[in-house]
Structure 1
Amino acid sequence: MAIKIKCSHILVEKQSESLAIMERIKKGEKFGKLAKELSIDSGSAKKDGSLGYFTKGMMVKPFEEAAFKLQIGEISEPIKTEFGYHIIKRFE
């Protein structure tokens, strides 16, 4: 059985935007609130950035590699993919 993880993300176009969001998270702002407010992934943004559960092979490689390295509750540094810059939070 494939390992499934549950993550949320915030997707933005520019690295500078992702770094500014990271600062806001470090200062205590809620990940889900920032996802709703700032993410350009409109589908997940409505759900506090939630992507639900996924297994290996379902996401683009750089995103997948970063997501599967995270511990539960951990937030990634910005990850660049062809879609932009992702900040990922792992839940399960």
Structure 2
Amino acid sequence: MEGTPQNINLLSVRKSLLSVHGVVTVYGLHTWSLNMNKSLVSVHVVTEEAADSHIVLTRATNLLRSKFGFSSVTIQVEHSSSTVNGVRTMTVESD
């Protein structure tokens, strides 16, 4: 039955993602279990402007699979950009 994984601490997941070199913000973090053996995660990570999004994506995916055991990982990588008229903007990369 689907639901929130009981063995996953969202704060720990967030802190782990923030430890990936180049990641500056994590938001939209969602986890759920399909059954006792399969848990899924979906998250947005914002990187420093100069960060390589493919390296960040690979490291974050490997981290979530190895440390937390997620069977499915979906990560949207966004680059942090400068501010425009006092509003922070982000560039979303899609492959």
**Does the TM-score normalized on the shorter chain lie above 0.5?**
no
TM range (shorter): under 0.3
Greater fraction strand: 2
Taking CA–CA contacts closer than 8 Å with sequence separation of 6 or more, which of the two structures ends up with the larger relative contact order? Answer: 1
TM-score (norm 2): 0.25
TM-score (norm 1): 0.26
